[in-house]
Amino acid sequence: MSATVDNAAGPAEDQVHYLGSMQTIEFPMNRYGENEEIDYIVVGVGAAGGVLLQRLSRAGFKVIGIEAGPFWDTERDWVSDEAGSHQLYWEDMRVTGGKNPLALGANNCGKGVGGGSVHWAAFTPRFHPSDFEVFTRDGVGADWPISYWDLKPYYELLELEMPVAGPAWYPWGDPHGYPFGPHPMGGVGNTLIRGCTNLGIPVSAGGPVAILSGSRGDRPHCIYRGFCIQGCKVGAKASTLITHVPDALANGAEIRDRCMVSRIHHDKKTNRVTGVSYIDSEGCERFQKAKAVIVSGYSIETPRLLLNSACAGYENGLANSSDTVGRYLMAQAGNVILGRFKEPVRMYKAPPAHALTEEFYETDPKRDFARGFAIQTVGPLPIAFAKQMMAARGSWGWGMRRIMMDYNHWSAFGLLGEILPWPENRVTLADEKDQFGLRVAHVNFDLHDNDKKLIEFGKNKVEQVMRAAGAEEVVQEARYAHLVGAARMGKDPATSVVDCFGRTHDIPNLFVCDGSILPTQGSANPGLTIQALAARTADYLISQGATVFNSDRRDMTAPPVRPELSPPGTHGVGVPRLA
Ligand X SMILES: Cc1cc2nc3c(=O)[nH]c(=O)nc-3n(C[C@H](O)[C@H](O)[C@H](O)COP(=O)(O)OP(=O)(O)OC[C@H]3O[C@@H](n4cnc5c(N)ncnc54)[C@H](O)[C@@H]3O)c2cc1C
Residues that bind ligand SF4 (CB under 6 A): 211, 222-228, 232, 234, 236-237, 351
> Pick from ligand X, ligand SF4, none: which does 234 bind, CB < 5 to 8 A by kind?
ligand SF4
> Pick from ligand X, ligand SF4, none: which does 378 bind, CB < 5 to 8 A by kind?
none
Q: With CA atoms as reference, report the closest residue to 294 among 324, 273, 267.
A: 273
> Pick from ligand X, ligand SF4, none: which does 232 bind, CB < 5 to 8 A by kind?
ligand SF4
Stretches 26-34, 110-118, 214-222, 495-503: which one binds ligand X (CB under 6 A)? 110-118
Stretches 30-38, 79-87, 182-190, 295-303: which one binds ligand X (CB under 6 A)? 295-303
- Of 118 and 261, nearer to ligand SF4 (C-beta) is 118
For the window 344-373, what string marks contact with ligand X as x by the rule CB under 6 A?
---------x--------------------
- Of 222 and 440, nearer to ligand SF4 (C-beta) is 222
Give yes or no for a contact between 577 and 176, defined as CB atoms under 8 angstroms apart: yes
SS3 14: coil
Q: Which residues contact 258 (CB under 8 A, 6 or more apart)?
A: 9, 67, 68, 69, 70, 280, 281
Give yes or no for a contact between 375 and 334, defined as CB atoms under 8 angstroms apart: no
CA pseudo-torsion sign 298, 299, 303, 304:
negative
- Strand-pair partners of 433: 439
- Of 369 and 385, nearer to ligand SF4 (C-beta) is 385
> Pick from ligand SF4, ligand X, none: which does 228 bind, CB < 5 to 8 A by kind?
ligand SF4
Q: How far is the CB of 455 from ligand X (least distance, A)?
A: 19
Distance CA 563, CA 405 (A): 51
Q: How many helices (H) and strands (E) does the chain have?
A: 14, 18
- Of 27 and 224, nearer to ligand SF4 (C-beta) is 224
- CA-CA distances (angstroms) from residue 475 to 338, 394, 467? 5, 11, 11
Pairing of strands 285-295, 510-512: parallel
> Pick from ligand X, ligand SF4, none: which does 226 bind, CB < 5 to 8 A by kind?
ligand SF4
Give yes or no for a contact between 211 and 228, defined as CB atoms under 8 angstroms apart: yes
Distance CA 532, CA 98 (A): 32
Can residue 538 be called a binding residue for ligand X (CB under 6 A)?
Answer: no
Can residue 109 be called a binding residue for ligand X (CB under 6 A)?
Answer: yes
Q: What is the DSSP string of 312-360?
A: TTBTTSTT-TTS-TT-S-EEEE--EEEEE-SS---TTSS-S--EEE-TT
Can residue 48 be called a binding residue for ligand X (CB under 6 A)?
Answer: yes
- Of 123 and 457, nearer to ligand SF4 (C-beta) is 123
> Pick from ligand SF4, ligand X, none: which does 44 bind, CB < 5 to 8 A by kind?
ligand X
Size, binding site for ligand X by CB under 6 A: 43
Q: Which residues contact 195 (CB under 8 A, 6 or more apart)?
A: 464, 465, 466, 467, 468, 469, 470
**Binders of ligand X in range 503-522 (CB under 6 A):** 514-515
> Pick from ligand SF4, ligand X, none: which does 236 bind, CB < 5 to 8 A by kind?
ligand SF4
From 388, 525, 537, 570, residue interacting with ligand X (rule: CB under 6 A): 525
Stretches 147-155, 293-301, 315-323, 558-566: which one binds ligand X (CB under 6 A)? 293-301
Peptide bond just before 421 cis, omega within 30 deg: no
> Pick from ligand SF4, ligand X, none: which does 227 bind, CB < 5 to 8 A by kind?
ligand SF4
- Of 145 and 527, nearer to ligand X (C-beta) is 527
Distance CA 133, CA 146 (A): 9
Binding site for ligand X (CB under 6 A): 43-49, 66-69, 90, 107-112, 115-117, 119-123, 229, 260-261, 296-298, 301, 305, 353, 482, 514-515, 525-528, 530
